[in-house]
A and B are shown apart, each in its own frame.
Chain A
Amino acid sequence: MTQAQLQESANIPAQSEEHGERKWRDYFSFNTDHKVIGIQYLVTTFIFYCIGGVLADLVRTELKTPETDFVSPEVYNSLFTLHATIMIFLWIVPAGAGFANYLIPLMIGAKDMAFPRLNAVAFWMIPPAGLLLISSLLVGDAPDAGWTSYPPLSLVTGQVGEAIWIMSVLLLGTSSILGAINFLVTIWKMRIPGMSVNQMPLFCWSMIATSAITLLSTPVLAGALILLAFDLIAGTTFFNPTGGGDPIVYQHMFWFYSHPAVYIMILPFFGLISEVLPVHARKPVFGYQAIAYSSLAISFLGLIVWAHHMFTSGIPGWLRMFFMITTMIIAVPTGIKVFSWVATVWGGKLRLNSAMLFAMGFVGTFVIGGISGVMLAAVPFDIHVHDTYFVVAHLHYVLFGGSVLGIYAGFYHWFPKMTGRMLNEFWGKVHFALTIVGLNMTFLPMHKLGMMGMNRRIAVYDPKFETLNFICTMGSYLLAVSTFPFIINAIWSWMYGPKAGNNPWQALTLEWMTTSPPAIENFDKLPVLATGPYDYGMNNGDDEVVENVPLSDEREPALAAGPNSALRAEPDPKVAANPEDRE
């Protein structure tokens, strides 16, 4: 038996036919099933992504020529402010939570999240917050001080729009705090007995790291925004120099959240990639512990680097050096991850399907963003390129190349599980090709633009930059086009795609050990671990188990006990696997 067969035969999937059936109304209601909530998150955030993408193309259309000939400068500022806010707070961050909601209980063999109602509450804060934000466009007073909303500028531009922006971001922050609590408790308390932390899928590790930074840093953002709201509405002067306030304090508070936030935006997808790569490379993930612990290292270091966003604003000279060093150190755990991923694919038997292509594209593109990140950490160079298109290029390589490609890899990988149907591979590959070309065409030239002297957030620029900007704009149209094959493919396949079966990829993690789509309570009986999460290739068709495989210490006793041994199958009465069973 191969490892996949071993794992599957130890876990008979829930057979109940009607269990998996979902009524469409469930998705529009206060449903507490983590799978419904996961899909609610993913679909909602994808809609916001499309809105954010349209705004991005409007921004790029304005930038096609050096003059302001498409929208007025005021509207331009609102466009990029909303684009960035939507992309960050309504797409990347909640999309990570969407995957986590769907996958974590399945991956650890639980029936649901620890707090199902809280989970639904967290989701249902998002649509109103998003609608609120977008409504500011209709009010005619959209926020236009950038997604960073630095005072005093944010205090002197439109008041209504700014207040709406604060309100909306506060709601979204609250939602992500609620989600983070839920993930932590679920992962910590609801793993099936016998799954030690070192047998968890790596996605769970990345969600622990993500949730920890969410809990530590989001409240500081809330503090900053509430004080800003006082300045804006009540006329206090916490950040307003007119009354003796200090705008730099806002920057510290804002970046204390918003730098860690970039890890909130990327760590979940680091986790997703660590799931997708080994399955399609048919090889164990290389350096499980290195990948797991580097997530924690990134989340810790992420909390002490915020002032690298302020190298040119208000910190003393020596402090810049401190933040330079801490920032650069993050490159080490990140590098460990990248090398481990490369080593995972190296020498495998790669199935180059859409999920795998996006996952490898993720690694390749993220590397560019990571490298420019180290450059930005070098203070003398950052002083030159801060607030220029070099930064815009860097952040999109990380957020688009990292997060968005990661999400797509996840979509293609888990779509069969979520819907029970396969996506069309041909259109998946078209989607991939268009995305990679469009992405590099849009963002690569921005590096040079920034270094040569084009600052960011401008509607008019020096005519000497016209050619490169034209290329960027064409690239952004290509990116817009690239989403159509995906959207059509997803909708069509969801309705008419070929049936997927329970485990189309012969994966080993527990979410594949149930029906596709999973039954309402995930598993009929408590699942057992017959293999580790990434034990590919240990038994290649012949019945002999390969001997010289270094299993981690923690995994050995459980595995040695055999799939049906009491050690693993017996539920521990103190650790109930689902919330209803707990007293």
Chain B
Amino acid sequence: MNIPSSIWTLIIGIVVTIVSLWYGQNHGLLPTAASDEAELVDGLFNAMLTISTGLFLIVEGALIYSAIRFRRRPDDNSDGPPIFGNIPLEILWTAVPAIIVLGIAIYSFDVYNSIGGFNPHDVHDAPIGEQAVRMPGAAIAATLNDTPPSADPSNLNQDKSDAAMQDPGTAEIRNADQIPQKRNAPGVGVVSPTIGSSPDREGTSPALTINVTGLQYAWIITYPDTGITTGELHVPVGREVQISMTANDVIHAFWVPELRLKQDAIPGRQSEIRFTPKTLGEYKLICAELCGPYHGAMNTQFVIETPEAFEQWQQEQVAISNSQQLVAVNTAVSPAEFLAPYISDLGIQPETLHQIHHNHH
């Protein structure tokens, strides 16, 4: 084999390394990192991109170099050298990818652990059932719910489902009568899939809990602590937030690119993510799972604001939300009517609202 002399190999190696390191840091391929978790994910991505750039340059370089250097001269009809293999070389290039992949796997594992991939339900170990029954509005919710609250403390998913259904803000729009939250829900004991609390926050409750419900083609956001129901997601900067989500018709996916977090909202299941917003700004909450023709229009404002601004926003919303709650309870408006004010902001024509089927008994 015509290996370039070692000095060339060295120079090329250094150049490739420098270019890769530079590009790995200066690629500009990702949007703002707006959460603590996003920082970690970006670190992982930068590392992977550095390695990838190096590999890319080596392979493409070797191919292009071969095409130029080793092309057949017009008068040369002989064959190349009969080299069938080279065991040390083959071992080397089996080992190198194996080690790279191992490194990436360990790094990913670490990031995944730090953003809370492993311990999602530490705070839910206590049964929530009875607690939820005492919440205001539980009576209404109970009538909408086919299944009584779970009595079995080991069934955490059931508890979560029950709790969500008792939440006065969401029970109505979560379409509880149509999609009975299952007995023995899948993955008993598991709140289906999750990014939970990070190891250093294990056992603590998040500062703020928010329920998010996806339905064709809107996100309904409720703040159980204050009873706010709204179409926009507001969070205060620097405080850990937990989003607990479900869907009431088809699968949707909660995605805020700036948070680097995505989670499917699945009818019949509860899932949750926890994160700490870091950078003030207005972003977009996007539905990332195909949910029908207007899937592309299913997005809404996601605002990270100062705690003061958040307080103020909350107070405004409480007023509005309360009045709507009254209406909802008194006249049982359909979700279509209920959603109309939000949906007009979302770029969806009112005609498409008939897509939202919801029959009250």
Could you tell me which A residues sit within 8 Å of B by CB distance? Answer: 2-3, 68, 72-74, 76-77, 144-146, 150, 152-153, 156-157, 241-242, 244-249, 281-284, 286-290, 312-318, 320-321, 324-325, 328-329, 331-332, 335-336, 338-340, 342-343, 345-352, 360, 363-364, 367-368, 371-372, 374-375, 378-381, 383-384, 386-388, 447-448, 451-453, 455-462, 534-538, 540-541, 546, 549-552
Question: Per-position contact with A for B106-123: 1 when CB-CB < 8 Å, else 0?
Answer: 011101100101111000
Which A residues are CB-close (under 8 A) to B77?
541
B7 at the interface (CB under 8 A from A): no
**Bound: A500/B260 CA distance, A:** 56
Binding site for A on B (CB under 8 A): 1-2, 29-31, 40-41, 44-45, 48-49, 52, 55-56, 59-60, 62-63, 66-67, 70-72, 76-86, 89-90, 93-94, 96-98, 101, 104-105, 107-109, 111-112, 115, 117-120, 178-180, 182, 186-187, 190, 192-196, 249-251, 253, 255, 257, 260-264, 266-269, 271, 284, 286-297, 347
CA distance A360 to B67 in the complex (A): 9
B72 contacts A350, C-beta separation under 8 Å: yes
Of the A-B pairs whose beta carbons lie under 8 Å apart in the complex, a sample of 7, sorted by A's number, is A152-B267, A153-B291, A283-B82, A332-B94, A346-B62, A347-B66, A549-B84
Q: Given A316-B193, A317-B193, is A379 in contact with B288 using a C-beta cutoff of 8 Å?
A: no
Best-surrounded residue of A77, A242, A244, A346 (most CB of chain B within 10 A): A346
Give which listed residue, A247, A249, A290, A338, contacts B85 with CB less than 8 A. Answer: A290
Q: A342-B62, A460-B347 are in contact. Are A317 and B120 (CB under 8 A)?
A: yes
- A281 contact set on B, CB distance < 8 A: 70, 80
**Contact between A380 and B41 (Cβ–Cβ < 8 Å)?**
yes
Instruction: Decide: A460 and B70 in contact? CB cutoff 8 A.
Output: no
Q: Do the beta carbons of B71 and A360 come within 8 Å of each other?
A: no
User: In the complex, how many angstroms separate the beta carbon of B175 from the nearest chain A beta carbon?
Assistant: 10
Question: Chain A residues with Cβ under 8 A from B119's Cβ?
Answer: 317
B85-A312 in contact (CB<8A): no
Asked if residues A313 and B70 are in contact (CB atoms below 8 Å), the reply is no
Q: How far is the CB of A41 from chain B (nearest CB, A)?
A: 30
A367 to B64 CA separation, bound complex (whole angstroms): 14
Task: Given A375-B52, A453-B286, A457-B290, check contact A314 B63 (CB 8 Å).
Answer: no
Give me 16 other A-B pairs in contact (C-beta within 8 A), A324-B109, A383-B263, A453-B31 excluded: A76-B293, A242-B179, A281-B70, A312-B193, A312-B262, A313-B289, A336-B97, A339-B93, A349-B71, A352-B71, A367-B59, A375-B48, A380-B112, A453-B257, A459-B293, A537-B81
Contact B83 A349 (CB under 8 A): no
List the 8 shortest-distance A-B pairs measured between CB atoms, nearest first: A458-B296, A241-B268, A537-B79, A453-B257, A348-B80, A283-B80, A335-B97, A73-B293
Q: Are B30 and A452 touching (Cβ within 8 A)?
A: yes
Say yes or no: A314-B97 contact (C-beta < 8 A), given A342-B63, A384-B262: no
Q: How many angstroms between the C-alpha atoms of A513 and B136 in the bound complex?
A: 85
